[in-house]
Structure 1
Amino acid sequence: MNDPLTLFSLIHTSLLEIVSFALALVMVILNIRQSPWAWLFSITSAALYAVVFYGSKLYGDMSLQFFFIAVSLWGWYQWLFGGVSHHGVQISHLTPKGWLYSALAWMIGFVAIASFLRLFTDTDVPHIDAFLTSGSLVGQLLLSRKKLENWYVWIGIDLIYIGLYLHKELYLTALLFALFVVMAAIGLHTWKKSLASQTVETATP
């Protein structure tokens, strides 16, 4: 399933990458719509992409997929039963302290992952892989808690990922992440409107 094939005599890919691509697109669409079913597609897509990234020696990204699976299970629970009323978490803003903790987690994760990749793997892109892997961990955690700022994180990360995947000749995945940038911008706009509606409903007696 991970054997190479060529689409339209231009794009080198594999059936596994194509399936992962499709599942990831559905996942983001469902995230924008705040559907808990997004997490099921996240789990399946992550499991398949772990195999794709292993074949491309993107070990940081490969390991990230297993974290995505674990966080997706937690996020699924949060979206269904989290929050004070246990009816699911609501969209909210990240506090200044939350921004600080997120930045520190990103930095610490980057240093730890980059060190591991340099010492124990044969990857040729340890630093950018580590930076994006650590940032993706932060973005996924913010998404699971429905923090509006998760979309800003994903827009920045996805833009850089496009270049990395082009370098690795994962052209279909590079296209996917270009679509992710557009969809993240749509998600940001949609969630802002939902947050404004929540605020009005809360303020209405």
Structure 2
Amino acid sequence: MSADVLGGHFLNALRAEIFTSPLESVATLLGIANITLLIRRSIWNYPVGICMVSIYAYVFFGAKLYSDVLLQVFFFVVQIVGWVAWLRHQEPDGEVIVETSRARDLVLALLATGLGAALLGYAMGRWAHAAFPYWDATVASASVIAQLLLTWRRVENWVWWIGSNVISIVIYARKGLFLTSGLYAFFLAMAVIGLVSWLKSLRRQRLYTQS
């Protein structure tokens, strides 16, 4: 099958989904706004994020991606916690102060990601008959760690988001959620931009502290 034909099938599926999945379309737009605000270290990412995860919980339940449903519930709670935490660590211009993680903390984060993926994947595959249980669980586990790192304003949160987004792109495309798959491709690019942006902000903070 030629690339043109494959592209045509994808575009037709995408058009159909836009008209049949209005909630997913809204969540997609909120997701774009959310990550844009995150890169700018704006605290307004949190109210936008709360709306986004609420909609995605409903969308993922319909797609039988149960790990992702639980993940959105977790995100809802952590969005509120993060909102409060960020309010306490703002610069005069309203942007949030960022930090790096210690090597020990990163090792623990990696171990927690792997253990969480293994346990959740087994549970979802055995009892919930979820689609792609271990891959879905890896996304969920990595996203939990990424969100915690984000709440603690750690630069390394973007590394975890990059890994999670790569897997998400494939999973959602396989499930026919083309808008969401496209959104996560956008998230992947923005996560790279976010990592670069936060590293630059960290360097500026250190130079300001030393001056």
TM-score norm. by structure 1 comes to 0.90
* Per-residue deviation, 1:100: 1.4
1:153 correspondence with 2:185:
no
- 1 CA distance for matches of 2:206 and 2:164? 29
Q: Distance in 1 between matches of 2:26 and 2:208?
A: 40
Q: Which amino acid aligns with 2:13?
A: L
1:94 aligned to which of 88, 101, 122: 101
Distance 1:98 1:89 in 2: 21
Instruction: Confirm whether residue 194 of structure 1 aligns to residue 198 of structure 2.
Output: no
Q: Alignment partner of 2:198: what SS?
A: helix
User: Are the structure 2 counterparts of residues 88 and 71 from structure 1 closer, same or farther at C-alpha, using a change threshold of 3 Å?
Assistant: farther
Q: CA deviation at 1:183?
A: 0.7
Is 1:33 aligned with 2:40? yes
- What CA distance in whole angstroms lies between the structure 1 residues aligned with 2:131 and 2:32? 28
TM-score scaled to structure 2, two decimals?
0.87
Greater helix proportion: 2
> Equivalents in 2 of 1:8, 1:105: separation in Å?
38
8 Å Cα contact 1:80/1:88 also seen in 2 = no
For 2:28, which of 21, 28, 50 is the aligned residue? 21
Aligned length: 195
Pick one of 105, 108, 114 that aligns with 2:115: 108
Instruction: Give ranges in structure 1 of 5+ residues lacking alignment.
Output: 1-6
**Residue type of the partner of 1:149?**
E
Greater than 4 Å deviation, 4+ residue runs: none
Distance (Å, rounded) in 2 between the aligned partners of 1:152 and 1:8: 30
Residue identity opposite 1:73 in structure 2: I
Does structure 2 retain, via aligned residues, the 8 Å contact 1:81–1:88?
A: no
Contact 1:151 1:184 in 2 (8 A): yes
- Is residue 10 of structure 1 aligned with residue 7 of structure 2? no
**CA shift in 2, pair 1:190/1:88, >3 Å:** closer
Range moving further from structure 2, 74-83 or 130-139: 74-83
Report the alpha carbon displacement of residue 42 of structure 1 after superposing the two structures with TM.
Answer: 1.0
Asked whether the equivalents of residues 24 and 45 of structure 1 are also in contact (C-alpha less than 8 Å), the reply is yes
1:126 to 133, 148, 163: 133
Larger mean CA deviation between 89-98 and 159-168 belongs to 89-98
Q: For residues 177 and 88 of structure 1, what CA distance do their matches in structure 2 show? A: 25
The code of the aligned residue for 1:44 comes to C
Identical counterparts, % of pairs: 35
